[in-house]
Every structure is written in C-alpha cells, then in structure tokens.
C-alpha cells in the first residue's frame, strides 16, 4: 500500500517498512562488546522481539529527556505486534539501562518503564520494572525477568537484518473466517491478523486452479505488506494515540471478475490528523492478473492496469471522470469547502474504481480537508455497457454477477 505509506511515514521511526538498522550504528561497551542486532526472548512468559543499536547520528533520540542516548531501539510483544520505543545508556558496571517511550498526544515521553540488561556473547539477561533500575540488580518477580538470544549475525548486512525483523513480526498465525461459497464452484475465506485487525480473502474454490493460485499469491503478498504498514503506523503508540481501522469486502466474485474493496481509517503516531483511504483489488479471473482496462473498455487502446484500483491517466480515466461528474451532487459535508464545485474534478484527479453488484463504483481521492466533497458514486452497468468491448457486452448481465 505505497500510497498510504507515503502519508503515514514517520521520520522518527526508521523501522519495519523502510528498514531498521539504516539509522543505527554499532552499540559497544568495553565490558559487553558489540550488542547491536535482532533478539528473540521473553519478559516473564511473554515472547518478545527486540532490536537495538547505537544512534547513527550523535544527538539522535526519541525525546529531550536526559543526556544523549548511547543506545536506541524498539521491541514488541509477539501477541501484540506493536513496537515500543527504547533508548538508554551503559552504566558503570557495563549493564545497559533502557527507558521505554510512548506517544502521548503526539509527543514522545517516557512511560515510567525501565530495563536493565547484561550481555554476554549472543545472549542477554536482566529485568523490567517501573522503577529506577540503578537501585537494584535483579528482580524477585519472575514475570519481570528478561531473557534474550540474538538471532542475527554480527556481520549481517542491513537488508538481511531488516528482513529478519519483518519476518519475526509476520511470524504470527492468521485466523481464517468460515468459508463463504458464492456458488458451487467458487468460495473464499477472510484471513486476518488479529493483532492489527487487518485481513484479505484467500480463495478456496475456483474452476481454474492456476488462476486461483495466482490470485491467492498476490493477495497474500498484499496482506503481508498491510500488516507491516499497520505495525509501522502504530509504532510507539500509547493509549491516546494511534489507530488503524480497516474493513474489507468481496464485492463481486464471478468466473470473470473478482472485485475486493478495502477501506482504511488511520491515525498514525506523529501525523497531524487522522485520514482514510479506499483501495480496490480487481482481478481478471480469466488470467488471475490485475484487470487491464484495455481489455474492458472499447476506447482504451493502451495497457491501463488497475493497481490497487487506481485508474491510469488516459481515455478510460477521462470517460469515468465524465460519468462521475454527470452523477455528482455536492454533499452537505462539503459546505465548509466554500466554492468547491464539480469543476474541481478534472483529468488530474485520482480515481479509484471497483465492481459492485449494482454497478461500477467510482471513488475520487481528494486532500484530507475536502475529502467529504468526493463521495463514492455508482454507475449502473446498463449505463456503462455501451462503453465496453463486445466480448464483455455479450457476457451474462453484469448486474446479476455472483457476489457476497
């Protein structure tokens, strides 16, 4: 979901989607040696993944609290998947003191939790508490004890470490919904990562096994990326910040078209305001590839593949823009936009489309401040039919395609 990523990219979170250790140097101590890398372990009985290293920039840090940090990093509980920020420094005995940070009303602040760790080779041990860890060397509570094992190699290149961290984040079982059969030969389930409440379909039945495999492979790839996007969005979030709310729907599933629409509302840590996005995944079920509008619309002579539902510039975009403008009625939510009119929609407006059981849905993409001025509009299939290629016109009536 590159479009959303560009909106929610957080300059102070160098992890997950864009690579973690590119902003970390090598954290060293005379008594502990190099400790930077990726670790698996536990806090009590809860499984965690930790990544730490020295800031590449001398004064880089998560906040203005205290002296410059020698070490920065993050960790997540496997059952939650949301990263918690860490920074700290070495104590006189060579142990490492780390402070946890959370976002509160857009500002990164210490949340009161601290770690104290001792490293030897590829292993680390210590404890967690809401205290000043300098005043104790161990915890009597087994639920607060930390045990770590490095799973990266000291000479691993950055890309290898990035992939390892991502793989560990994704190493969590997906939940499958009950199977939904649209007819005797076509069915699917929704696979969901319960930590982030994100999911996409996987086909379970379709007459052409190769087409089904191709579609499922692409949907699995998209779901992996969405899981990483959600984790990056929520990184460092506290109780007051961070939101990722997603709904997904199979709008049409037939022997020729699979149309999936996903709508996401998100409020990422460090961004100015919440936002939302509509994406559509439309497959040509004759091949399993994303639908090429050249095969569908009579006036489209060059390839125009729907990537995440976005219509490329060209004849089909112009046609759909004209149809959208023809049906447009300014919504009440747009009253605050002043002189906004239908003329604000033009050839430069990004259009997303997907197929639904009542028609082709057109969804313009507008800036956040005027997003309410661009509602989805459905163009009935009968109105659309004259613009289709003959092979599509001769198929079963579009308004009775199988659907959820």
pLDDT tens-digit series, residues 264-304: 998 887 777 788 888 999 999 999 999 999 999 999 999 99
pLDDT tens, position by position, 175-212: 999 999 999 999 999 999 999 999 999 999 999 999 99
**Could you tell me which of 398, 387, 392 has the C-alpha nearest to residue 298?**
387
Task: Indicate the residue among 126, 148, 170 that finishes a domain.
Answer: 170
Task: Indicate the residue among 133, 151, 170 that finishes a domain.
Answer: 170
Q: Which residue is associated with the tokens 């508490």?
A: 129
CA distance 398 to 396: 6
- Let me know whether 331 and 206 are in one domain: yes
Work out the average pLDDT over 238-249: 81
- Let me know whether 205 and 90 are in one domain: no
Task: Indicate the residue among 134, 152, 170 that finishes a domain.
Answer: 170
Work out the percent of the chain whose per-residue pLDDT is above 70: 83
pLDDT at 238: 61
Looking at the structure of the chain, the number of domains it has is 2
- Let me know whether 179 and 164 are in one domain: no
The domain that holds 118 is classified in CATH as: 2.40.128
- Let me know whether 68 and 196 are in one domain: no
- Let me know whether 82 and 162 are in one domain: yes
- Let me know whether 378 and 235 are in one domain: yes
| Residue 159 scores a pLDDT above 80 | no
Instruction: Report which secondary-structure segment, H or E, holds 225.
Output: helix 209-234
Helix (H/G/I), strand (E/B), else coil: 41:
strand
Using the CB atoms, write b or e for 6-24: b if 16+ within 10 Å: eebebebbbbbbebbbebb
Q: What is the mean pLDDT of the chain?
A: 84
Query: What does pTM read for this prediction?
Result: 0.85
309 token code pair: 């539902």
- Let me know whether 155 and 198 are in one domain: no
pLDDT band at 8 (very low <50, low <70, confident <90, very high): very low
Domain of residue 112 covers 2-170
Higher pLDDT, 217 or 403: 217
Asked whether the beta carbons of 250 and 218 are under 8 A apart, the reply is no
DSSP assignment letter at 311: P
- Let me know whether 31 and 162 are in one domain: yes
- Let me know whether 209 and 326 are in one domain: yes
Q: Which residues pair with 258 in a beta bridge?
A: 253, 283
- Let me know whether 345 and 393 are in one domain: yes
The domain that holds 310 is classified in CATH as: 3.30.565.40
| Residue 219 scores a pLDDT above 60 | yes
DSSP assignment letter at 173: P
pLDDT tens, position by position, 141-152: 888 999 999 999
CA distance 174 to 68: 40
pLDDT at 31: 41
- Let me know whether 160 and 186 are in one domain: no
278 token code pair: 């509509």
- Let me know whether 197 and 157 are in one domain: no
| Residue 241 scores a pLDDT above 70 | no
């Amino acid at each position: 979901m590159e479009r959303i990523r560009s909106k929610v990219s957080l300059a102070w979170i160098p992890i997950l989607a864009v690579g973690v250790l590119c902003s970390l140097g090598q954290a060293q101590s005379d008594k502990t040696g190099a400790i930077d890398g990726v670790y698996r372990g536990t806090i009590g009985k809860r499984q965690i993944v930790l990544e730490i290293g020295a800031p590449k920039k001398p004064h880089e840090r998560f906040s203005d609290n205290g002296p410059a940090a020698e070490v920065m990093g993050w960790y997540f509980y496997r059952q939650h998947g949301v990263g918690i920020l860490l920074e700290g420094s070495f104590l006189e005995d060579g142990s490492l003191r780390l402070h946890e940070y959370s976002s509160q009303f857009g500002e990164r602040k210490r949340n009161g939790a601290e770690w104290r760790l001792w490293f030897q080779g590829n292993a680390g041990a210590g404890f967690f508490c809401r205290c000043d860890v300098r005043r104790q060397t161990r915890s009597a509570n087994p639920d607060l004890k930390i045990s770590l094992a490095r799973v990266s190699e000291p000479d691993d290149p950055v890309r290898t470490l990035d992939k390892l961290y991502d793989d560990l984040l994704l190493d969590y079982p997906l939940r499958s919904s009950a199977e939904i059969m649209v007819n005797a030969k076509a069915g699917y389930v929704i696979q969901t990562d319960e930590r982030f409440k994100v999911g996409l379909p996987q086909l379970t039945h379709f007459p052409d096994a190769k087409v089904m495999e191709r579609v499922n492979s692409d949907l699995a790839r998209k779901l992996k990326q969405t899981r990483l996007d959600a984790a990056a969005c929520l990184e460092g979030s506290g109780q007051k910040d961070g939101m990722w709310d997603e709904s997904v729907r199979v709008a049409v599933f037939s022997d020729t078209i699979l149309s999936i629409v996903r709508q996401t509302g998100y409020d990422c840590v460090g961004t100015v305001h919440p936002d939302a996005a509509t994406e559509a995944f439309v497959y040509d079920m004759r091949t399993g590839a994303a639908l090429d509008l050249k095969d569908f619309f009579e006036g489209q002579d060059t390839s125009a593949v729907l990537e995440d539902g976005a219509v490329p510039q060209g004849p089909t975009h112009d046609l759909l823009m004209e149809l959208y403008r023809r049906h447009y009625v300014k919504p009440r939510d747009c009253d605050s936009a002043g002189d906004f009119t239908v003329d604000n929609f033009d050839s430069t407006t990004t259009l997303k489309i997907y197929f639904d059981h009542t028609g082709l849905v057109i969804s313009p993409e507008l800036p956040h401040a005027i997003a309410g001025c661009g509602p989805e509009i459905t163009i009935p299939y009968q109105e659309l039919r004259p613009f289709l290629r003959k092979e599509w016109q001769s198929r079963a009536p579009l308004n009775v395609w199988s659907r959820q």
